[in-house]
């Protein structure tokens, strides 16, 4: 009984957070893509078998050619579907990472105001240094009377 209650609660949360999310704060596509791939894997063999059956309607030679080509067609179809679904996943993950970068950008913008303060205070720090440090930071004299 507890398992059924937990299942109902998880379905309720799923429906509330994903399906009825009118603000589109969560992506449901990332969770549906594996189901779509599973659907492709389940539906493709009967579909190819139906195409082979249709090919036998055009003649025995056509049917035998279809039987020979069916595994290759299946592998090509499933591979293409997999590539397209992986590209969709990559696009959604890039979108998530760009959202994180946008949040980080706001923090960087807040910190950039500190650099504006240091631009004005940096010349003053030269006078606050001890004399020995100021002499060390000064470039060596370069003129006709200076030694090399």
Query: Do you know the residue count of the chain?
Result: 148
pLDDT of residue 116: 59
Give the largest Cα separation in the chain, rounded: 106
Cα separation, 13 vs 5, in Å, equals 12
Cα separation, 93 vs 85, in Å, equals 12
pLDDT value at 16 more than 80: no
Distances (CA, A) of 40 to 44, 68, 117: 6, 21, 60
Cα separation, 82 vs 34, in Å, equals 10
How many C-beta atoms lie closer than 10 Å to residue 39's C-beta? 12
Cα separation, 72 vs 24, in Å, equals 40
Cα separation, 21 vs 4, in Å, equals 25
- Model pTM above 0.85: no
> Using one digit for the tens of pLDDT, what is the confidence trace for 79-107?
999 999 999 999 988 988 888 887 777 77
Cα separation, 36 vs 29, in Å, equals 10
How many C-beta atoms lie closer than 10 Å to residue 41's C-beta? 13
Instruction: Considering only residues 137 and 59, tell me which one the structure prediction assigns the higher pLDDT.
Output: 59
Over the Cα atoms of the chain, what is R_g? 34
């Amino acid at each position: 009984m507890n398992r059924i209650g937990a299942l109902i609660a998880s379905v309720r949360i799923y429906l509330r957070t994903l399906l009825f999310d009118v603000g589109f704060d969560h992506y449901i596509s990332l969770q549906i893509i594996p189901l779509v791939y599973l659907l492709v894997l389940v539906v493709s063999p009967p579909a190819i078998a139906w195409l082979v059956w249709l090919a036998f309607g055009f003649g025995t030679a056509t049917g035998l050619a279809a039987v020979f080509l069916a595994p290759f067609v299946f592998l090509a179809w499933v591979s293409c579907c997999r590539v397209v679904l992986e590209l969709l996943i990559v696009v959604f993950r890039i979108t998530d990472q760009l959202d994180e970068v946008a949040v980080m950008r706001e923090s960087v913008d807040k910190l950039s105001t500190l650099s504006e303060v240091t631009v004005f205070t940096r010349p003053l720090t030269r006078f606050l240094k001890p004399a020995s440090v100021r002499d060390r930071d000064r470039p060596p004299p370069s003129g006709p009377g200076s030694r090399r």
